[in-house]
Structure 1
């Protein structure tokens, strides 16, 4: 009996030692750099639809955030340095509305583009005075068309160095998806689409997009029938091979524009009242196959879901690790127990590793990562990247750096969000960049 207890104790000791070694190894693989202190009384600095919150051009990384007074702050560092240079710009935003986020991009000539402070309001946009600079010029128009009621500004980099800029023109339920194009050779914007996806004055499209290695633009979206999030339904898809001028389905069928409810390719049918969230993330594998991450009900519990194209057929995988039900409803920025997810794709020799970056109250609101080879026989594995909770944070990572070097850098801030656009009594909180040195080593 004593011998059995001794063996059991020894096994437990070895298991504990092994777990401790793994924990130390994981901790050493993660580091943080401090950028500065930002407004944290709502989630305006960390909402999912920032494109981008953090981006890298050559050897320099850039970020942006609002401080406690609502001033637009820009930051820059050499990618190998832990020291950030920050600049308080002369511009401010309405920080009490979490829609009014900041999006940044660096064009192929090294100029910083910034758009900020929108919720059915006039376009606010500026460009740096010099390449790799933080000092912005005067606010300016892009094209002058449909720039009075702007929401959700998003920049996307094309392989040729040009940019595309997506935004909603008009109010929820009656808004159009507008796409502008920036040519680095002329330094001018032009409008490609005045109404790519048309809700026909009955509904709105809430999108997520990405650009693959060949410059193909992929976009997916859910429809919303009213201002209430509970009316989100269906997941649709389109792609453009010519920088946003023409669009087609995954089958190659060319869309007649604008795309409508009747003409849209449905990647996955999802009914209303399914706790389907809007504005998540998508990416592609090395073959250009799209992967869309979102969440909606599986049974009675909202689960992270992966909808993807394989062998010209749409498939869905339920991550299935959540246990707690909740219900989405109403308008405004919601306080939700889980974050809208982000996605990372990494191709190995024979398989595609798919990872979901998220936050969940079930895990103490930490920064977490779920990953899978989308093998139905194996459950998803989940690890925490942060030791502490991050409030109502939603994930944004450096897409450019991930694409080029497979290094994961995450924009991080502990923020609060009161349901329905509320503002909490909270002091400024630290803006940090969480870095995972070798993601594959971390999750193996």
Structure 2
């Protein structure tokens, strides 16, 4: 593969990167943290759109690193370089441009044959999807107008690429809109370069009255795929309700935690309810995150209101024949009273539980920009300690030029040799998918290799 640049990045000035000492001051105080990697100079990749956040994408193969992002003119751009040559970037632009919608994030993956797949810029929109040839050269990316079904690909949102147990590339998305949508899975065949439905029916059917907002599937240490979701009745964020769960060996046949089959499409009346959180109960989509304890048991981190109306973090775990849901935070005089439509400037983000010190679980949370770790007893799920830590974004921001009012977005991937790559870029926060009053200056998108794997 040749690596001469076809489109050069627009670096009009050198990014102002602070010294490594500043980053060292932000090292996490977590007892479970590993020693920081050896310092490596940051790598400026390009100038990017900073008017609002819409998640970028990054993947690695055995030989290359790929990044997909929106450039200063909001045009979707894909860049690649050899893993062993940071000076040899190739840039390629494709024909789609971002508006103001923070839903329109980028999904990217490389299939087993080597072709690059990119889907992006969709919120109840027709399919926007590009594929390269098997060489993996991004300059061969071409728009593919139909994936598997013209009828189902005109109102697409939330694209995600993943691999099934056989290593085949799978693409999932929502067909429809908030409050009335279905979850669709397709599978790719490299030999014929075609997609087909993975299942004979959608994973979930909202029956025209609701839709499901999924987190996952996540492949667990038990070899099963696990998903958690909320049901949402309207585009209004406060109509999320009923935390639900399912598991599968192959992404085709699904079942409840007790092994009871779940015929597709899963409907609300048949779903396994982990916690019957009501409408306006303080639970929101995208904050129902799968994790696992040291025994491989599945957990779900989420938030809802307590009896006094305060927002609290909860941890659910399947124990025997039932789900045990435990409040693990003890916040007072705090309520995230969200509502309305559009992309919210979220006050809380949560992550899946993971094993900590012997007998403990760690539950990462971010509240009002402060990264936290909840240390809970692995047996009882009772809180041991809530502690402040430095997030991935904080560590990156200490070495970036972040303007007032901006926040630092990050994406992390682990390369084939174990190196952790962190992509970071500052933007204004979401603005409910509406224009800002002014167009901000572009920001630097920078690659780090010395920030350990972490939360946000």
CA shift for structure 1 position 123: 0.7
More moved, 122-131 vs 310-319: 310-319
**274, 280, 285: which one aligns with 2:281:** 274
Alignment of 1:260 onto 2:267? yes
Contact 1:237 1:249 in 2 (8 A): yes
Q: In structure 2, what is the Cα distance between the partners aligned to 1:321 and 1:289?
A: 25
**What is the aligned counterpart of 1:54 among 58, 67, 70?**
58
Judged with a 3 Å threshold, the aligned counterparts in structure 2 of structure 1 residues 353 and 293 are, in CA distance, closer, same or farther, namely same
Cα 1:35–1:311 shift into 2, 3 Å:
farther
Quote the offset at 1:110 in angstroms.
Answer: 2.5
Gapped regions of structure 1 (runs ≥ 5): 1-19, 47-52
TM-score normalized by structure 2? 0.77
Q: Does 2:107 align with 1:103? A: yes
Q: In structure 2, do the counterparts of structure 1 residues 70 and 253 end up closer, same or farther at CA, with 3 Å as the change threshold?
A: same
Q: Which residue of 2 aligns with 1:37?
A: 47
| Cα displacement (A) at 1:62 | 2.2
CA contact (8 A) 2:293 2:361 kept: no
CA contact (8 A) 1:162 1:181 kept: yes
Structure-to-structure mapping, 1:429-444, within 5 angstroms: 429-435=443-449
Give the C-alpha shift of residue 115 in structure 1.
0.4
Give the count of matched residue pairs. 405
Indicate if the aligned counterparts of 2:422 and 2:451 stay in contact, CA closer than 8 A: no
Structure 2 unmatched runs, 5+: 1-21, 29-34
Q: What's the offset of the Cα at 1:435?
A: 4.8
State the TM-score, normalizing by the size of structure 1. 0.79
Alignment of 1:42-441 (within 5 A): 42-45=52-55, 53-79=57-83, 83=87, 85-140=89-144, 141-145=146-150, 146-193=152-199, 194-209=201-216, 210-212=218-220, 216-242=224-250, 244-280=251-287, 281-284=289-292, 289-298=297-306, 299-311=308-320, 313-320=322-329, 324-338=334-348, 340-343=349-352, 345=354, 353-356=361-364, 358=366, 360-361=367-368, 363=370, 368=371, 370=373, 372=375, 374-375=377-378, 376-385=382-391, 386-387=394-395, 388=397, 391-392=406-407, 396-398=411-413, 401=414, 408-424=420-436, 425=438, 426-435=440-449
Task: Tell me the distance in 1 between the aligned counterparts of 2:304 and 2:257.
Answer: 23
Could you say what secondary structure the match of 1:252 adopts? coil
Between structures 1 and 2, the one with greater helix share: 1
CA RMSD of aligned residues (A): 3.4
Of 377-386 and 312-321, the range deviating more from structure 2: 312-321
Q: Is the 8 A contact 1:158 1:211 kept in 2?
A: no
Cα distance in 1 for partners of 2:53, 2:386 equals 28
- Superposed CA deviations along residues 242-261 of structure 1, whole A, max 9, x for unmatched, are 2x221111111011221111
Aligned 8 A contact 1:392 1:414 in 2: yes
| 1:408 positional shift | 4.9
Q: Residues 75 and 98 of structure 2 are in contact (CA less than 8 Å); yes or no, is this contact kept in structure 1? A: no
Kept in 1: contact 2:113–2:134 (CA 8 A)? no
